Homo-oligomer: A and B are copies of this chain.
């Protein structure tokens, strides 16, 4: 990716999260990125294309950092905790990207075409779920509920540590995971 293109993505990530899509003008993005407005439209045909490309970029960033593989040698709880930790760490380390995905996942600016382009984290979760059910480790609740609960928990925890950064340490992370685990495990 060209340097200016990257700068535009970075600037718009920050601004879209802080002020929303309609609250951010392309002029501001260009200014923040240190380029001319014409340059922005050279790389991104429209503002909508910009936010869609930004969505692809952030989602890829996240999936890249997650990319876990279920490890049969480890205990089931370890496997799920590892996945959980990866999401939480991504959220804590890349708060803008995390918040962007959170905010714009359901927004009308992200076309369904874009959404199709990113494989969801559902697949890896589905494996874990089936395994957990099979081994009778987790309660018999629907896959959708577990998915939503897992993700909701990640969001809650990331948001919490963003509010109270001084609380972010291994012990509290472990405790936070136990809240999730004790909730879903048998």
Main secondary structure of the interface of A (DSSP, over half): helix
A89-97, A119-127, A144-152: which lies at the B interface?
A: A144-152
Residue of B nearest to A148 (CB): B160
Report A134-145 CB contacts with B as 1/0, cut-off 8 Å: 000001011011
Q: A132 in the interface, Cβ–Cβ < 8 Å?
A: no
Q: A167 in the interface, Cβ–Cβ < 8 Å?
A: yes
In whole angstroms, how far apart are the Cα atoms of A151 and B91 in the complex? 19
Residue of B nearest to A175 (CB): B141
Q: A79 in the interface, Cβ–Cβ < 8 Å?
A: no
Q: How large is the interface on A (under 10, 10 to 19, 20 to 34, 35 or more residues)?
A: 20 to 34
Count this chain's copies in the assembly: 4
Chain B residues closer than 8 Å to A160, beta-carbon distance: 144-145, 148-149
Chain B residues closer than 8 Å to A19, beta-carbon distance: 108
A159 in contact with B164 given A20-B22, A21-B20, A183-B183 (CB within 8 Å): no
Cross-chain contact B159 with A148 (CB below 8 angstroms): yes
Q: A180 in the interface, Cβ–Cβ < 8 Å?
A: yes
Cross-chain contact A142 with B159 (CB below 8 angstroms): no
Of B144, B163, B180, which one neighbours A183 at CB under 8 angstroms? Answer: B180
Closest A-B pairs by Cβ, 8 of them: A152-B156, A22-B22, A183-B183, A179-B183, A22-B23, A148-B160, A182-B183, A182-B182
